[in-house]
């Protein structure tokens, strides 16, 4: 027996994970080496700690909850709106804002074979999510007269393909010196008992460890330091799968800079108390996002004097973090959540199988777990139709179909507001390039 095997077997035995070597003796030399390399690269003591923490959590006790103060954009006067917008533009002109996109997820519900950013929601132009986002940023940067650093978080699984996609498309016109790719980490997926799952006889089932890793991974890659050197003050964080995201929105930047809390977030009122999105509120007096299931039913029904649900602020995953705050809290350990998922594994005979229903857990950190570390947060309430078109599922709600419909509806509203006559063209064929308009501006027909 080789001693490397013995050592690792012993380590796994101590952690009650030795089952992952059960097919070892059937494997070729190459596969044996691959599996042992993978096992050796893991921090098994850490994994044991995280597993205990994530799977051992008591059924959620929300603690003392109170509503979060929020500022609806609509309630500002035209002068205030102009002031915020100008303040935001001044930050962009001075290069104080960088964008970070979490694009390391597996997108398993969508089922697209490549990285989600390479997916096209079927707009007439056929543009991918990455291209739509690149063009929005290019539009802003051109008007600001200053480049906007764009940081793309990938996973070990999709990194190469993501970078190749950008190379093959000449970075969509983005200057490579303002484009930063960085890789997040992975953790093994677990079965219902906390045992590590094999994806194949010779390979662990690894998955990216959540979007909450973004800042640490940014720091590990040296990019955070580079942004700091460039004088960046605000990090605009968003998820890759929002087809209508207004990246680095000057209005939002202006509002965040004005109130100057360590974090700002864009929110939208939930359509109904039952809608399945995380809720922004205060927990034990600190900003927090709660699962919709964590808020007691009677609280979900309470309304304010204007009829708005007190606990109806939906989290859209659109945030601005102050650089200082991020640096101060980098070493704060965010907790791990166990997400119940369908995970590829092998059966006792060693056959690869994909279950019909969730069979285990992925361990993930969430970016919003930074919120309670801020004493106060700025919450800007926007019109969700203009801000949030998530692409999560293959069909049905939050699918390419709903996102495409929403983007085209927004473009139609912009055209109508600008008085554009589109003749007999069908709305389904009329798309506005983000290079031409960021948020509906500049579409007015020239005066006769
Ligand atoms: P989701 O929770 O929707 O997960 O991620 P997902 O991986 O994209 O999709 P499913 O659940 O497998 O269908 C929300 C955002 O966080 C990013 C995703 O890319 C998406 O932008 N994310 C998620 C990461 O960047 N890393 C992760 O480890 C997990």
**Residue 397 in domain:** yes
Q: What is the pLDDT of residue 323?
A: 98
> What 8-state DSSP symbol labels residue 160?
H
Domain that holds residue 387: 67-267+312-409
Is the predicted pLDDT of residue 422 greater than 80, yes or no? Answer: yes
Contact call for residues 342 and 357 (beta carbons, < 8 A): yes
Cα separation of 382 and 255, whole Å? 12
Q: What is the pLDDT of residue 61?
A: 64
CA of 253 to the centre of ligand 1 (A): 25
Question: Which residue's CA lies nearest to atom 22 of ligand 1?
Answer: 105
Q: At what angle do helices 78-93 and 129-144 cross, to 10 degrees?
A: 90
**CA 110 to ligand 1: nearest atom:** 13
Q: What is the pLDDT of residue 59?
A: 57
DSSP 213-273: GHHHHHHHTTHHHHHHHTT--EEEEEETTBTT--TT-HHHHHHHHHH--SEEEEEEE-SST
Contact call for residues 150 and 179 (beta carbons, < 8 A): yes
Q: Which of 248, 241, 208 lies closest to 128, judged by CA? A: 241
Q: What is the pLDDT of residue 274?
A: 84
All residues at 6 or more sequence positions from 177 whose CB lies less than 8 Å from its CB, including other chains: none
CA of 102 to the centre of ligand 1 (A): 7
Contact call for residues 378 and 93 (beta carbons, < 8 A): no
In this prediction, residue 1 has a pLDDT band, given cuts at 50, 70 and 90, of low
- Mean pLDDT value across residues 83-88: 98
Q: What is the pLDDT of residue 296?
A: 83
**CA 214 to ligand 1: nearest atom:** 25
In the block, tokens 């590829």 appear at 344
Cα separation of 279 and 289, whole Å? 5
> What 8-state DSSP symbol labels residue 444?
S
**Residue 284 in domain:** no
CA of 209 to the centre of ligand 1 (A): 9
Ligand 1 site-directed mutation target among 102, 104, 105, most atoms within 8 Å of CB: 105
DSSP-derived 3-state class of residue 340: strand
- Mean pLDDT value across residues 75-83: 98
**Residue 80 in domain:** yes
Residue range 173-210, pLDDT digits in tens = 999 999 999 999 999 999 999 999 999 999 999 999 99
DSSP 175-205: -GGGEEEEE--EEE-EETTSPBPEEETTEE-
CA of 243 to the centre of ligand 1 (A): 14
CA of 210 to the centre of ligand 1 (A): 7
Helix (H) or strand (E) holding 363: strand 360-364
DSSP-derived 3-state class of residue 361: strand
DSSP 40-66: HTS-HHHHHHHHHHHHTPPSP---SEE
Is the predicted pLDDT of residue 108 greater than 70, yes or no? Answer: yes
- Mean pLDDT value across residues 355-366: 94
Q: What is the pLDDT of residue 60?
A: 60
Q: What is the pLDDT of residue 291?
A: 82
Q: Which of 196, 156, 199 lies closest to 51, judged by CA? A: 196
Q: What is the pLDDT of residue 222?
A: 98
Is the predicted pLDDT of residue 57 greater than 80, yes or no? Answer: no
Is the predicted pLDDT of residue 62 greater than 80, yes or no? Answer: no
In this prediction, residue 375 has a pLDDT band, given cuts at 50, 70 and 90, of very high
Ligand 1 site-directed mutation target among 211, 236, 366, most atoms within 8 Å of CB: 211
Is the predicted pLDDT of residue 58 greater than 70, yes or no? Answer: no
Which pair of structure tokens corresponds to residue 359?
């069979």
Least confident range of 89-93, 229-233, 293-297, 388-392: 293-297
The region, left, alpha or beta by phi > 0 then psi within -120 to 50, assigned to residue 222 is left
Alpha carbons within 13 A on the beta-carbon side of 216: 17
**CA 106 to ligand 1: nearest atom:** 7
Which pair of structure tokens corresponds to residue 187?
């953790």
Q: Residues of 235-244 as b/e, b for ≥16 C-beta within 10 angstroms?
A: bbbbbbbbbb
- pTM over 0.85, yes/no: yes
Contact call for residues 123 and 257 (beta carbons, < 8 A): no
Total domains in the fold of the chain: 1
Residue range 326-339, pLDDT digits in tens = 999 998 999 999 98
DSSP-derived 3-state class of residue 382: coil
Residue range 226-281, pLDDT digits in tens = 999 999 999 999 999 999 999 999 999 999 999 999 999 999 999 888 888 899 99
Q: What is the pLDDT of residue 423?
A: 86
Q: What is the pLDDT of residue 297?
A: 84
**Torsional sign, CA 231, 234, 237, 242:** negative
Mean pLDDT for all residues in the chain: 95
In the block, tokens 């500022």 appear at 71
Ligand 1, residues at Cβ distance < 6 Å: 102-109, 116, 153, 184, 208-211, 239-241, 364, 392
CA of 415 to the centre of ligand 1 (A): 33
Question: Which residue's CA lies nearest to atom 9 of ligand 1?
Answer: 107
Q: What is the pLDDT of residue 329?
A: 97
Question: Which residue's CA lies nearest to atom 3 of ligand 1?
Answer: 392
Q: What is the pLDDT of residue 212?
A: 97
CA of 193 to the centre of ligand 1 (A): 24
Q: What is the pLDDT of residue 300?
A: 87
**Residue 378 in domain:** yes
**CA 107 to ligand 1: nearest atom:** 9
**Residue 82 in domain:** yes
**Residue 318 in domain:** yes
In this prediction, residue 88 has a pLDDT band, given cuts at 50, 70 and 90, of very high
CA of 152 to the centre of ligand 1 (A): 13
Cβ atoms within 10 Å, residue 370: 24
Question: Is the model more confident about 325 or about 64?
Answer: 325
Is the predicted pLDDT of residue 322 greater than 60, yes or no? Answer: yes
Residue range 15-48, pLDDT digits in tens = 999 999 999 999 999 999 999 999 999 999 999 9
CA of 316 to the centre of ligand 1 (A): 13
Contact call for residues 393 and 401 (beta carbons, < 8 A): no
Question: What is the domain-level CATH number for residue 244?
Answer: 3.90.550.10
**Residue 129 in domain:** yes
Q: What is the pLDDT of residue 233?
A: 98
**Residue 369 in domain:** yes
């Amino acid at each position: 027996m080789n001693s490397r095997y013995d050592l690792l077997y012993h380590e796994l035995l101590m952690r009650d994970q030795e089952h992952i070597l059960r097919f070892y003796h059937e494997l070729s030399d190459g596969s044996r080496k691959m599996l042992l390399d993978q096992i050796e690269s893991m921090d098994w003591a850490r994994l044991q700690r995280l597993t205990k923490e994530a799977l051992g959590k008591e059924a959620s006790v929300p603690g003392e909850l109170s509503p979060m103060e929020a500022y609806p954009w609509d309630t500002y006067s035209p002068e205030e709106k102009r002031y915020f917008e100008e303040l935001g533009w001044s930050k962009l002109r001075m290069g104080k804002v960088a964008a970070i996109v979490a694009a390391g997820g597996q997108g398993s519900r969508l089922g697209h074979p490549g990285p989600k950013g390479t997916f096209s929601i079927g707009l007439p132009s056929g543009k991918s999510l990455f291209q739509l986002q690149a063009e929005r940023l290019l539009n802003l940067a051109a008007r600001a007269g200053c480049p906007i650093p764009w940081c793309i978080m990938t996973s070990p699984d999709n990194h190469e393909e993501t970078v190749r996609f950008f190379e093959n498309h000449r970075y969509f016109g983005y200057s490579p010196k303002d484009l930063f790719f960085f890789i997040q980490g992975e953790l093994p997926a677990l079965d219902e008992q906390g045992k590590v799952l094999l994806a194949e006889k010779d390979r662990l089932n690894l998955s990216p460890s959540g979007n909450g890793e973004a800042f640490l991974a940014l720091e590990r890659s040296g990019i955070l330091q580079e942004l700091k050197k460039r004088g960046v003050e605000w990090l605009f964080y968003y998820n890759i799968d929002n087809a209508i995201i207004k990246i680095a929105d000057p209005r939002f930047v202006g509002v965040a800079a004005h109130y100057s809390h360590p974090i700002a977030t864009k929110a939208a009122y939930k359509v109904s108390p039952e809608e399945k999105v995380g809720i922004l509120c205060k927990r034990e007096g600190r900003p927090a996002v709660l699962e919709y299931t964590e808020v007691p039913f009677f609280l979900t029904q309470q309304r304010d004097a204007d009829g708005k649900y007190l606990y109806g602020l939906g989290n859209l995953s659109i945030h601005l973090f102050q650089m200082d705050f991020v640096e101060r809290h980098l070493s704060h350990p965010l907790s791990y959540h166990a997400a119940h998922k369908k995970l590829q594994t092998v059966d006792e005979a060693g056959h690869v199988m994909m279950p019909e229903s969730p069979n285990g857990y992925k361990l993930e950190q969430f970016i919003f777990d930074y919120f309670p570390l801020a004493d106060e947060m700025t919450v800007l309430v926007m019109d969700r139709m203009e801000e949030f078109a998530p692409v999560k599922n293959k069909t049905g709600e939050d699918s390419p179909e709903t996102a495409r419909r929403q983007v085209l509806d927004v473009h139609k509203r912009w055209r109508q507001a600008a008085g554009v006559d589109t003749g007999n063209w069908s709305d389904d064929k009329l798309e506005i390039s983000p290079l031409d308009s960021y948020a509906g501006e500049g579409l007015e027909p020239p005066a006769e």
